[in-house]
Amino acid sequence: MSTISATHPTSGELTRGHKKVIFASSLGTVFEWYDFYLYGSLAAIIAKQFFSGLEPGAAFIFALLAFAAGFAVRPFGALVFGRLGDMIGRKYTFLVTIVIMGVSTFLVGVLPSYASIGIAAPIILITLRLLQGLALGGEYGGAATYVAEHAPNGKRGLYTSFIQTTATLGLFLSLLVILGSRLALGNEAFEAWGWRIPFLVSFVLLLVSVWIRLQLNESPLFQQMKAEGKGSKAPITESFFTKNGKIALLALLGATAGQAVVWYAGQFYALFFLTQTLKVDATTANLLIAGALIIGTPFFVVFGWLSDKIGRKKIVMAGCLVAALTYFPLFKALTHYANPALEAAQNSAPVTVIADPDECAVQFVPGELKSHVKFNSSCDIAKGLLAGKSIPYHNETAAAGSVAQIRVGDQVFSSFDAKGLTPEETKARTDEFSKAVLAATTAAGYPEKADPARINKPMVLLLLTLLVIYVTMVYGPIAAWLVELFPTRIRYTSMSLPYHIGNGWFGGFLPTTAFALVLATGNIYSGLWYPIIVALMTFVIGSLFLRETKDVDIRS
């Protein structure tokens, strides 16, 4: 089999062979991101299929936690595969990662649901997510390093920016396949069994990806380093237990953490916010997100190119700062244009929970643990009702030991304490309480779903596109910046760990953390505090302590 080969260029232009390297690396990475993000795009359906033993609000939170599990292990994948990549080569390492990812994704598509095999279903699902996370932990650093080591000085920002488009293109591809399947089958059939089709399609993508990866040759800089006997015998030790470890820590806190939360807030959290909070139907929300991705994706290359001219640091820091300063007005504008009825109801008849804070538990605790966290208190019943219906509310402190109340506009409804009641009595009281409260919220204008006729789609698309452009600012230059911070012999390991801790932990847990904050406070915008605080932290640390690298010669 012939392979795609290219030496490291010394001129400012890439040869046809180098462009093939970039295309082959990028396309394989698109497919891997497609596999990884299918789960996130289908989180609401997966919650019903694999976490149906929990209440709806808790099921969605636990589906997001399973989604986040894949992110949690990405740093461990970075260590395992980064070490292999620095010792045996870039090519074969990320060939292994694509196989692990593709097989794990395919198995999700054939996994029986909770209704069929009980608790084994979510356990197996989480195991497969962990395997996906390990694979992705080794993928990105390899692809970014591989392309950067083929690119000429002065153009690394531009050429690694094509790798940066792969995450968004993978998300876009997953949305496209999901939408196609949903439209072909109808919503009912898709949610019953058709959701498996996008996962099964991954097997075809796996075959294409393996074929592409087999045609790649090893990185020229890695080959040169090995030929000169300059390779590292202990990449992990050299990366994190020498003075290089300080640079890795600064790269995490001063670059990738902020980049990650802006990425996930601008794409995944925006999608969840539309569907779960604003109750826009899934098809419309996915189409709007897909449209924003189409419009915004070229800006990855624009900002990658610009970073070769003015620097990586300036662009990434500017993206973190502008995102942190504008998230609240942007997400409030999304509410205004996507669900104006909800905005109007919040303004005219705000809902308030009046309760003793000591009687209120965390709303996404599993049903099996309710007795251990006093989940049957009057406050929990009141908040559980509102959270289950996605009705935003304010909190007001009541006297210690008092029974919680829900105020809708001028109407007040007293909750009840279920301690000591039989299940039948609890159900009867809950039904009566729910009926009264929901009648009041309906009369006050709180909608069950966003009215499609009242969604201002052009404005929503504009706002989503702006969020995606923020993503391109922080993500377009980040690969070149990370590559240039570390030497060749430990580059794969050194850049992979801060990248995947930043994106796997700071970014991957964003949807779960944000929705937990929303459930805890009742305020639909409170989840934004998490990405805002992290982005500001990165802006400060990165501005003060990380150096600009655009003129670094990575061959030295």
Burial label, 417 (beta-carbon count in 10 A; 0-12, 13-18, 19+): middle
- The CATH number for 420's domain is 3.40.30
481 and 431 in one domain? no
Q: Around Cβ 125, how many Cβ atoms within 10 Å?
A: 23
- Of 425, 443, 461, the position where a domain reaches its end is 443
pLDDT tens track for 24-40: 777 767 876 787 678 77
User: Same structural domain for residues 255 and 326?
Assistant: yes
Q: Minimal CA–CA distance to 513: which of 279, 335, 261, 253?
A: 261
Residue 420: the pLDDT is 82
**Is residue 7 domain-resident?**
no
Amino acid at site 431: D
Residue 53: inside a domain: yes
Q: Where are the alpha helices (DSSP H) in 42-89?
A: 43-50, 56-72, 74-87
Please give the single-letter amino acid code of residue 100: I
Inside any domain, residue 10? no
Structural domains counted in the chain: 2
Domain end among 443, 473, 504: 443
Same domain, 146 and 292: yes
Residues 179 and 299 in one domain: yes
Structural contact between residues 480 and 255, judged by C-beta atoms closer than 8 angstroms: no
| Residue where one domain finishes, among candidates 381, 414, 443 | 443
Q: Are residues 172 and 321 in the same domain?
A: yes
Does 291 share its domain with 365? no
225 within some domain? yes
Give dist(CA 87, CA 66) in Å, integer.
32
89 within domain boundaries: yes
The distance of Cα 309 from the centroid of its chain, to the nearest Å, equals: 30
**459 and 432, same structural domain?**
no
Distance CA 48, CA 515 (A): 17
Residues 232 and 117 in one domain: yes
Within a domain: residue 553? no
Positions of the chain with pLDDT under 50: 1-7, 9-12, 365-374
| 154 within domain boundaries | yes
Domain containing residue 302 = 17-339+452-545
pLDDT confidence of residue 231 = 60
Give me the pLDDT at residue 456, please. 97
- Do residues 295 and 414 share a domain? no
Cα–Cα distance between 108 and 41 in angstroms, integer? 14
Question: Any idea what the CATH number is for the domain that residue 34 is in?
Answer: 1.20.1250.20
Does residue 8 form part of some domain?
no
Whether residues 111 and 255 fall in one domain: yes
Q: Where are the alpha helices (DSSP H) in 111-232?
A: 114-117, 120-148, 156-185, 187-189, 196-214, 220-227
414 plus 463 within the same structural domain? no
Looking at the structure, do residues 506 and 490 belong to the same domain, yes or no? yes
User: Residue 221: what pLDDT?
Assistant: 63
